[in-house]
Amino acid sequence: MTPDEIYEIWAPAESEWSQWVKPVLFAHLPAYGNGASSVDRQEIAAASLPHNDGQSALVLDLPGAMAVQMTGDLVRQRYRPIPLYNSCPPPKSWALSAAVPHFMDGASSGGDPVRRTAVDVVPIIEAIVAMTPVLKAASLPASAPPAFLLDSQRRNVQAGYVRAPGAFDNRSVSLPTDFPSSNFLLSRGIRKIVLITPSQAGPEADLSHTLLRWQSTGISIAGVTTASASGLAIPQPITIRRPPYFRIAWYALMARLGLRPNLLGGFGGVLPESGGVG
């Protein structure tokens, strides 16, 4: 399948949710889309996913490619997966080259293998390619409600990453502008958001900005974790705490600049430089 055909399956013209599909990883399919055959599917019983009552949308904030790997379960419940990955893989030449000299002996101080990329998004690309036939075969109706897919590790560096010249820092943040507004959701009959996370620690700080905006307009937010071995439990209502700098006009810029601690961890005086691009 060509990148264009893959994109068409994930962002079909007939679904109005397609406009929110983030194209970044799809644009990198020509370089990275060939290693997809070995991708595991995340087997979570479809029955344990929140029931599709036509009034709920899902937000899957799960590590790495896990949310994409749940595509089979999502489409069985007639949810349309909407990838919201906003990070680039490193340039191919970067990924293929041998160890960077100043990374010394190939082991980080923590004992993990040295990683030269902060967030490994290649497995996500591979999972997208691997799950494309599954999504295509599902023939979802245009009205299928959305399941927004995120990488919960987007703001964190992977184990073994050494931040040094030559390393590739591709951390990212999720912003309210990445999602439909609450007006749009309500106008399409979406009254409830179910947040699926790997643990009960609560939503990521950046995602809280979006969830709280939705909650403040009457959309109910429920949470469920994937931690249970028996599959997902029943979603429990959650109240989103007001994150720092909520609704400040310059939040988006500040979040990316890293002018405040705890976000990208990197840029702009308070935080050190946040590194590379693709």
Exactly one of 4, 199, 218, 237 binds other proteins (CB under 8 A); that residue is 4
Residue 230 in the binding site for other proteins (CB under 8 A): no
Q: In degrees rounded to 5, what are phi and psi of residue 27?
A: -65, -20
Residue 177: both structure tokens together: 């502008």
d(CA 218, CA 74): 25
Nearer to other proteins, 21 or 224 (CB): 21
Q: How many CB atoms lie under 10 A from the CB of residue 166?
A: 14
Residue 93 in the binding site for other proteins (CB under 8 A): yes
The contact mask relative to other proteins for 11-50 (x = CB under 8 A, - = no) is --x-----xx-xxx-xx-----------------------
Burial call 125-137: b when 16+ CB within 10 Å, e when fewer: bbbbbbbbebbbe
Least separation in angstroms between CB 194 and other proteins? 21
Least separation in angstroms between CB 176 and other proteins? 7
Least separation in angstroms between CB 177 and other proteins? 5
Residue 220's DSSP bridge partners are 192
Burial tier of 45 (Cβ tally within 10 Å: 0-12, 13-18, 19+): exposed
Which runs of consecutive H residues, i.e. helices, occur in 143-250?
Answer: 182-187, 205-215
Residue 137 in the binding site for other proteins (CB under 8 A): no
- From the list 55-63, 70-78, 179-187, 216-224, the region that binds other proteins by CB under 8 A is 179-187
Sheet holding 236-237, edge to edge: 80-83, 146-151, 56-62, 192-197, 220-225, 236-237
Nearer to other proteins, 123 or 266 (CB): 266
180-209 residues in contact with other proteins (CB under 8 A) are 180-181, 183-184
The contact mask relative to other proteins for 62-91 (x = CB under 8 A, - = no) is ------------------------x-x--x
Residue 106 in the binding site for other proteins (CB under 8 A): no
Least separation in angstroms between CB 74 and other proteins? 21
Residue 276 in the binding site for other proteins (CB under 8 A): yes
Residue 99 in the binding site for other proteins (CB under 8 A): yes
What is the helix (H) or strand (E) element at residue 82, kind and residue range? Answer: strand 80-83
Supply angle C-alpha 10, 77, 241, rounded to 5: 85
Least separation in angstroms between CB 153 and other proteins? 15
